[in-house]
A and B are shown apart, each in its own frame.
Chain A
C-alpha cells in the first residue's frame, strides 16, 4: 500500500500525570501521522485536557515520553527540551487553540497585534509584512478586517475563537492542539467554525489533536478516535468504526447518550 507519509510525526508513550494522589491520565500511548486528525473524547474529568496539555508541553507529565519528528529524519524528545527550546517549539511548530479564548489570546493588545506577535516570535520583523499577513489570516478566518485594530475584549465568543485560530495558524504549525474549540458557542457559529477549521487544516496539511466531549464534532473533523474514561484509554480506532460499532461499554454509553438527546 503506498503511504504518502510513511513516518510518524508524533509518538506518545506511557504518558501518566498525577495530581497529588489523583490520576489525571495514566499510561496513554498513541501515534500521529502527518495530516492526520486525532480526536480524544470522553466525559468531563476523563483526562482529555490533561493529556493534551502534557503532550503539547504546556504541563510536565509525571512519567512517559513524547517524541516529535523534526521532518528530516531526526526526533525531538519534547519533554526533555530546555525551557527556551520548549518555548520556541510551542511558538513555531505547535499551535494551541484553547476552549477559553482568554487563555490563548492577549486581551490587552489589538487583534492584529495578537496575530503579528506570533510572527515576530519566529523572527519576522518587517512591519508591512506582519500587517499584510495578519490581514490575510483575519480574512481567511472570515473576520471583518475593519476590526484589526480593536481589542479582543470587544469581540464575541465566535470572533475570539476565529482570532485564536488565525493567531495559531499564521506560523503554519505542523501540529495543532484543539481543546474544545467550539465549546460554549451557539450551534450556527459552531457549524461554520468547524467547516473553517476543516478547510484550513486540510489546506495546511497540519496534524491535529482535538479534545472534545462532543462526538458530532469528533465525527466531523477526525480520522481516528481515542476514547478516555477515568484517565485511561478504553478504546481507539477509526472514528466512524468506533462511533458506529463501539466495542467498549463506556463508548457504547457515550454513543447512545447522543442518540437520546
Chain B
C-alpha cells in the first residue's frame, strides 16, 4: 500500500474523548455537562446523520467541530493540507485559516 492510499484510509475527521461542559454564570457557574467522552470518526465521502431529541447536543457537536465552541477535554483532528490539525489546541488564527 503506498503512502497516498494509506492516508486516504485515515478519518477526515477524528473526535477523540471530546468533553464539553457549559458553565452557567447566571447560576453561580453551575456546570452543564453536554459530552463526557465522545468519539466520532468520519471518512472522506461519508455522510453521517446526527439524530436525537432536542437538547441532546447535536448542534453543540457541530459547533465544536467548526471551532465555534471551546471543548474542555479531548481532541478534534481534521485532515488538512496533507497534515492533521487538532482544532482543540489550534490558535484562533489557525482555525480561521482552516475554515477558509
Contacts and interface: CB of A to CB of B under 8 A. Distances in A.
B74 to A, nearest CB: 16
B96 A238 contact: yes
Contact of A224 (B68, B70, B92): B92
Nearest to A250: B25
Nearest to B99: A238
Interface residues on A, range: 10 to 19
A3 B80 CA distance: 12
A237 interface: yes
Contacts of A36: 93
Contacts of B26: 252, 256
Contacts of A33: 93
A245 B69 contact: yes
- For B83, B92, B94, the residue with the greatest tally of chain A CB atoms inside 10 Å of its CB is B92
Contact of B25 (A2, A237, A241, A253): A253
Interface string B58-96: 000001000111100000000011010100000011111
Contacts of A249: 25, 29
Contacts of B23: 247
B92 A244 contact: no
Interface in B16-34: 22-23, 25-26, 29
B81 A1 contact: yes
B98 interface: yes
Contacts, number: 47
Nearest to A225: B92
A241 B67 contact: yes
Contact of A223 (B25, B80, B81, B96): B96
Nearest to A8: B93
Contacts of B80: 1
A241 B70 contact: yes
Nearest to B93: A33
B95 to A, nearest CB: 6
B97 A252 contact: no
Nearest to B90: A1
Nearest to B29: A249
A13 interface: no
A207 to B, nearest CB: 12
A252 to B, nearest CB: 4
B69 A2 contact: no
A240 to B, nearest CB: 5
B47 to A, nearest CB: 25
B19 to A, nearest CB: 14
B32 to A, nearest CB: 12
Contacts of B63: 244-245
A256 B25 CA distance: 10
A223 B91 CA distance: 12
Interface of A: 1-3, 33, 36, 223-224, 236-238, 240-241, 244-245, 247, 249, 252-253, 256
Given A241-B69, A245-B70, 13 more contacts: A1-B85, A1-B98, A2-B81, A224-B93, A238-B67, A238-B92, A238-B96, A240-B68, A241-B67, A241-B95, A245-B68, A245-B69, A249-B25
6 contacts: A1-B85, A1-B94, A244-B63, A245-B22, A247-B70, A249-B25
